[in-house]
Amino acid sequence: MKKIDKKLEGILSAKYRDWVIKLEDKQGNHNGDYKYYYDDVVMSLYKCQQGVCAYTEMHICIPELYTDLNWEAGRFKLNPDIDFKRTDHLGEMDHYDPSLKAEKYWRWSNLFMIHAKINSLKRNTAVVPYLKPDLENYSPEEYFDYDESTHRFVPNVSIEDENIRKEIQHMIDNVLFLNHGVVQRERRDYIQWIRQDIRFGLPYVVDRFHTAVSFCINN
């Protein structure tokens, strides 16, 4: 789970931004305009997340969908010159704290795009607050280690509190699904592919699995 920069004031969906800020200031209920800003939020989240699942870091959205060309007058509007549909992605919107959905459905700080399969497995289970990837002081290395022999995430071995290690392990296995079979296999193959490029002196760009790559290659 890489750190995500989600500063609300910087997003291109200015109409949604102004609406939700005003709504928050008034402590209003978010459900009055249900889904009116859905595409604006989804594509703004993808832009912040660089097209990857906020939890597994799998690639779930093509860059053509969240490119700057697809915004007009503060709203998301798919450019007709782009040969893709607005549904050409594999993500669903997740509420980090599900208890906020009833009255704060569109709160920007509580929203992430994650792989649809992971969302179906996670359901409405809350993620522990300290693992929220857009926190100012969040660092994945503080909570996770990576086992290169199995390509699986594990709790940071330097964490002394056994209860916290168990809590992180539970998040890894049963909420975030960082070691889901398909995720683990894709992550392993991706890292091996990058290692091959390095071995042959070829250029490469990391566009997914950033945290695992950092553990295995950049350190």
Q: Tell me: the pLDDT tens digits for 132-151?
A: 999 999 999 999 999 999 99
User: Looking at residue 208, what is its pLDDT?
Assistant: 97
CA 195 to chain centre: 25
The contacts of residue 31 (CB under 8 Å, 6+ apart) are: 102, 103, 105
Is 219 a residue whose pLDDT tops 90? no
Domain for residue 1, yes or no? no
Q: Are 56 and 176 in contact (CB under 8 A)?
A: yes
103 Cβ contact partners less than 8 Å away, ≥ 6 residues apart: 29, 30, 31
Residue 5 has pLDDT above 70, yes or no: yes
Whole domain around residue 117: which residue ranges?
A: 8-131
Q: Is residue 2 part of a domain?
A: no
Mean pLDDT of 165-176: 97
What's the average model confidence in pLDDT over 66-85? 95
Query: Is the same domain home to 23 and 125?
Result: yes
pLDDT, average across residues 93-106: 92
Distance CA 196, CA 160 (A): 36
- Report, as an integer, the average pLDDT of 104-112: 95
Same domain (yes/no): 34, 121: yes
Task: Looking at the structure, tell me whether residues 161 and 190 fall in a common domain.
Answer: yes
Q: Is the pLDDT of residue 196 over 90?
A: yes
How high is the pLDDT of residue 133? 97
Look at residue 32 and tell me whether its pLDDT is greater than 70: no
Judge if 212 and 151 occupy the same domain.
yes
Q: pLDDT tier at 33 (50, 70, 90 boundaries)?
A: low
Would you state the pLDDT for residue 71?
97
Mean pLDDT of all residues in 94-98 = 95
